[in-house]
Amino acid sequence: MTPTNRATTTTDATAARHRQAAALAARTGIPVLLLATEPDEPVLGLTAAGQPRHYTSTIASYRNGLRAEVHTPAGPTPEQLVRRALPGAATTDPGILATPREMTWGVEARHDGLLARAGIWCGWTLLHVTVDPKGRGPVPALRLVGTDTLPTGRPGLPAGGGR
């Protein structure tokens, strides 16, 4: 039996995750937001709406209720996303969201050990739900896939196949 190099395995998994996210971004015309330090493999998804149908968001879902989403312009507001993500949260507060090149102001809520933050960056509305560090941890590391090939904040591509 050949020993496995854990660093190589992790790098391979990260590269595969990035390729899947890039393919989803190319298909939908919407970037994909990943929780960069989350070791679990995300389940990638999308939403579509309207007539004719266009893609409206990309979603990366992780275990334990963690997730990251990117919505097109004219979609839900950051506050709507946070309230939808954590419906049991009593209040929302201003919060800082880490984006690929800078920090941006948004909205956050805490409930049941989770922290939801949402904000607008380059026309895209970003949401992430992570474990709540209760003020003791760093801002979660995020990876936004597809921003290098897509124009900023625009409607998603037409949704084919009636999905």
- What confidence score (pLDDT) does residue 6 get? 46
Give me the residue label for tokens 């102001």. Answer: 105
- The length of the chain, given as a count of residues: 163
- What confidence score (pLDDT) does residue 74 get? 85
State residue 66 phi and psi, 5-degree precision: -75, 145
Average pLDDT score, the chain: 86
Give me the residue label for tokens 């590269």. Answer: 15
Regions in the chain scoring below 50 on pLDDT? 1-2, 6-7, 162-163
Q: Using a CB cutoff of 8 Å and minimum separation of 24, what contacts does 47-50 make?
A: 48/156, 48/159, 48/163
State residue 59 phi and psi, 5-degree precision: -135, 135
- What confidence score (pLDDT) does residue 120 get? 92
Q: Is 26 left (phi over 0), alpha (psi -120 to 50) or beta?
A: alpha
Q: Which amino acid is at 153?
A: G
Picking from 95, 104, 99, the residue whose alpha carbon sits closest to that of residue 147 is 99
> Structure pTM?
0.86
* Residue 25 tokens, joined: 């971004």
State residue 138 phi and psi, 5-degree precision: -75, 165
CA dist., res. 40 & res. 35, Å (int): 10
Q: Are strands 54-61 and 67-71 parallel, antiparallel or unpaired?
A: antiparallel
